Structure 1
Amino acid sequence: MAVALMWEARAAAGRGGELLAWARACALDPAPVRRETFTAPVDRVLVITWWDAEFSAVLPELPDPPGELVHRDVHRWRFEPVPG
């Protein structure tokens, strides 16, 4: 089974680079099977991690960043793959 965890945050004005650096520096233990980091306009940072686990498994997630780095609360979602 596989599950993907999605973490998305919008940086406070002018702090996109700092938020990206913070997210990239966050280690997860254990490490996911795969991890990708994306950026988007308006200083958004997205991190998707893939795990070899059941949908309901307790998995490490990126924490909330320091409050001064974000424009709003972090959004988190959990997904599972859909067969072909």
Structure 2
Amino acid sequence: MTLALMWEARAAEGRGPELLAWARSQELTPAPLRRETFRAPEDRVLVITWWNAPYEAELPELPEPADGLARRAVHRWRFESVDG
């Protein structure tokens, strides 16, 4: 089964580039099958990782950013593939 983990954060005022750089520098062990990083208005950063694992699997996830880097707690979601 393909499982996608989504991690989304909103940077503190004026710290969008720093949050993006921080998210891109975070390593996951083991590495996912695929990983993509996105940015959006209002200094939002989204990271999606894909895994070959069941929905309940214990998998590495990006942590909460350092104090003061994010405006609020990180949002996290899990999705399982329904195609293929």
State the TM-score, normalized to the length of structure 1: 0.97
Ranges of 4+ aligned residues in structure 1 off by more than 3 Å? none
Q: CA RMSD in A?
A: 0.9
- Residue ranges of structure 2 left out of the alignment (5+ in a row): none
Does residue 42 (structure 1) correspond to residue 52 (structure 2)? The answer is no
Q: What's 2:20 paired with?
A: 20
How much has 1:22 moved relative to structure 2? 0.3
Does residue 53 (structure 1) correspond to residue 53 (structure 2)? The answer is yes
CA-to-aligned-CA distance 1:51-79 (integer Å, 9 cap, x gap)? 01011100000000012100111000000
Return the alpha-carbon distance in structure 1 between the equivalents of residues 18 and 68 of structure 2: 10
Q: What's 1:81 paired with?
A: 81
Q: What's 2:7 paired with?
A: 7
AA of the residue aligned to 2:64 = D
Q: What's 1:29 paired with?
A: 29
Q: What's 1:64 paired with?
A: 64
Sequence identity percentage: 70
Return the alpha-carbon distance in structure 1 between the equivalents of residues 41 and 48 of structure 2: 17
AA of the residue aligned to 2:54 = E
State the TM-score, normalized to the length of structure 2: 0.97
Give the total of aligned pairs.
84
AA of the residue aligned to 1:19 = L
Return the alpha-carbon distance in structure 1 between the equivalents of residues 49 and 63 of structure 2: 13
